[in-house]
Structure 1
């Protein structure tokens, strides 16, 4: 008999989300079934419908949760400074830490946007754009203050995010570089990309 997660609805929902992320990251959305997710959690397949009306809606909620997590955590962790260089340094630190801790969520969010219905895709893309806007705002502020030299802050945003987000695909704990060393190295490269007047050693 399959084990159960107990009567705690919040714990069951979180277990469903966690199992879905693990399976979708490993096999892809189309190849993952709700029955497989239920088996991994230890509940009957019908239980999932108490929390998510469809597999498509489950995917939407996973992507929305990931992006809302990034937005909410940055709002909490953003330094109280008007120095764009310090703001950019903090953003790099935040992004790398978040994307190495939540590697499966990052992978699913990047790879499965294609699996969303048009209306759901617009919802997720809107949240992604809000996150991109955070970095664009920092870069534009730095250009206006003379701290950065950039021909186009928006294009620089895409280039920097592509570089930073890619770390989640290859970084492993216990490798040649510790996370602090990695963040320092990425900070230096991002500052160079932004044309910062002073690049940290």
Structure 2
């Protein structure tokens, strides 16, 4: 199949992913067709299949790449559990505020993944959650934290931190630094011994 004039492999592939991301976030995965993605990119629908086998693969690749990048972008720093927890909280907020469309898709479109794709994404999510849970467990063992259930605390903290994406707007009443500080204070108080 001939490539459309003006189409370049090194730019068209990323443009397809960007268009899919934008459209999935705006309309939902189920409501978006490959034709819509092609139209957004400016290529014929058949040209998409030079870059991806199907829409499911686009969704899966967006989620997997997001989680791979998140996992590769943050590691538990040295230091006491409270400093590690603060670093996690601040990083989570910063990282996710810069990627609102990916965050929306990563949480809201899980139901649209085929079982084998869901299993991979679930394992990656669990690896990220395990990093926070390890910090909380270490803090509990050292006496720095008081928790009734480490797994529940892990899920609650991640849900709270990720929730920033639903309401935060750049240029609003609170700066990013304000949001980080306030959220960190809430998390610190929630786990304090």
TM-score bucket (shorter structure): over 0.9
Post-superposition shift, 1:57? 1.0
Report the equivalent of 2:184.
187
The residue number in structure 2 matching 1:21 is 21
Distance 1:10 1:153, change over 3 A: farther
Partner of 1:133: 130
The CA RMSD measured in Å over matched residues stands at 1.4
SS of the residue corresponding to residue 165 of structure 2 reads helix
Provide the secondary structure at the position in 1 that maps to 2:179.
helix
* Superposition pairs of residues 51-200 of structure 1, within 5 angstroms: 51-75=51-75, 78-79=76-77, 81-195=78-192, 197=193
**Any unmatched runs of 5+ in structure 1?**
none
Provide the C-alpha distance between the structure 2 equivalents of 1:93 and 1:177, rounded to a whole number of angstroms. Answer: 15
1:64-123 superposed Cα distances (whole Å, 9 cap, x missing partner): 011111101113xx43x1311111111011100111110010001101100011111111
* Alignment partner, residue 43 of structure 1: 43
Deviations 1:8-32 (A, max 9, x none): x232221111111110111111110
**How many equivalent residue pairs?**
190
TM-score, reference length from structure 2: 0.94
Q: Distance in 1 between matches of 2:23 and 2:5?
A: 19
Partner Cα separation in structure 2 for residue 5 and residue 175 of structure 1: 40
| TM-score, reference length from structure 1 | 0.90
Gaps of 5+ in 2: none
